[in-house]
Amino acid sequence: MQEQTIPLIINFAPTGMIPTREMTPHAPLSIAEIVEDVHQAFEMGITMVHLHARDEATGEPAHDSGTYGRIVEGIRRYAPDLVLAVSLSGRLVHEFEKRAEPLSLEGSLKPDMGSLTLSSMNFSGQDSMNAPSMIGRLAAEMKKRGILPELEAFDAGMINYAKYLESKGLIEPPHYFNLLLGNIASAQADMLHAGMMIRDLPPQSYWSLAGIGNAQLPMNSVAVAMGGGVRVGLEDQLFYDMKHRRLARNIDLLTRIHTLAAANEREVMAPSELRGLLNLQSGHGAYGRTTDTER
């Protein structure tokens, strides 16, 4: 893992799979809304974005490359070097072909990263199925296409599984991890769980802390103070305050992160710097991992 304080990685997660218009009027659901929320975030200062797509007609989660492609195209018109990660979630779809479809985007639409949850798990009322065979196939597909896994760990066992995947040659460093704490059936949002997961990361790993629900602010605060990165956005928390009196906008959550960063004298990492750390191509038309011949 990183051994010295680096600029703050802000991984922006604007919508996820759960928020609906009934839950909050601020969740970006259409392609235009997602693109605009990312635009506002980019203007304020973010390093990367974790994208979920939504069906234009229903607002339901979408997995097709066409919808993802339109989102990526819209973002790259104004942010050609922003690091883009597409979700390959197993919460609603279980077929490899559907989960892997966003990885088929190429050229100026190619994602830099694809999410890889490192085990099956339960949320409060729903499961997320990630069988070993599925994890291996998604990792192999990303390796073949030159796309970096955005490694998602909800407990320490998932980090150990990442080391197993590395030993099998399915993933290779440098790594980027989202460490997600506070889910009811996973690692809890406290210093002991966070510290243990950070300690167990494989060498050459960069990490961000995410908190589910009310855990977002304390985990983000810990990460800023500890020298790590943050994942922040309406995907993980719909409210600005702990007592749920005020629904948040994405820009509200990001403004607070910038305030925390300034108080801790942390600069926000530019997308170009993260690209260098993770051996990603430079953007501006060239995306995904840098090959050995390009280094």
pLDDT digit string, tens, across residues 55-113: 998 999 999 999 999 999 999 999 999 999 999 987 888 899 999 999 999 999 999 99
Q: Which residue(s) pair with 181 in the sheet?
A: 211
The single residue listed with the structure tokens 């320490």 is 156
Q: Which pLDDT does position 2 carry in this prediction? A: 55
pLDDT tier at 294 (50, 70, 90 boundaries)?
low
Q: Which residue(s) pair with 12 in the sheet?
A: 49, 232
**Joined tokens for residue 139:** 């990792």
Of 78, 77, 14, 97, residue with least CA distance to 51: 14
pLDDT tier at 1 (50, 70, 90 boundaries)?
low
Q: Are 189 and 126 in contact (CB under 8 A)?
A: no
Residue 293 has pLDDT above 50, yes or no: no
Question: Cα separation of 129 and 109, whole Å?
Answer: 27
At 25, give phi and psi (nearest 5°).
-75, -5
- Between β-strands 127-128 and 121-122, what pairing exists: parallel, antiparallel or unpaired? antiparallel
Question: Cα separation of 143 and 113, whole Å?
Answer: 10
Q: Which pLDDT does position 26 carry in this prediction? A: 98
DSSP H helix total and E strand total for the chain? 9, 12
Residue 121 has pLDDT above 80, yes or no: yes
Question: Cα separation of 4 and 162, whole Å?
Answer: 22
Distance of CA 16 to the CA centre of its chain: 10
pLDDT tier at 5 (50, 70, 90 boundaries)?
confident
Q: What would the pLDDT profile of 258-283 be if each residue is shown by its tens digit?
A: 999 999 999 999 999 999 999 999 99
Question: Cα separation of 128 and 256, whole Å?
Answer: 30
Q: What domains, with CATH codes, occur in the chain?
A: 10-285 (3.20.20.70)
SS3 179: strand
What does the mean pLDDT of the chain come to? 95
Q: Are 114 and 102 in contact (CB under 8 A)?
A: yes
User: What are the angstrom distances between the C-alpha of 294 and each of 106, 111, 114, 170, 286?
Assistant: 18, 18, 21, 21, 11
User: What are the angstrom distances between the C-alpha of 15 and each of 30, 60, 115, 158, 255?
Assistant: 10, 11, 15, 24, 17
Percent of the chain whose pLDDT exceeds 70: 97
At 196, give phi and psi (nearest 5°).
-65, -40
What number is the average pLDDT over the span 33-48?
98
Q: Which pTM value belongs to this model?
A: 0.96
Q: What would the pLDDT profile of 87-99 be if each residue is shown by its tens digit?
A: 998 788 889 999 9
Question: Cα separation of 272 and 34, whole Å?
Answer: 22
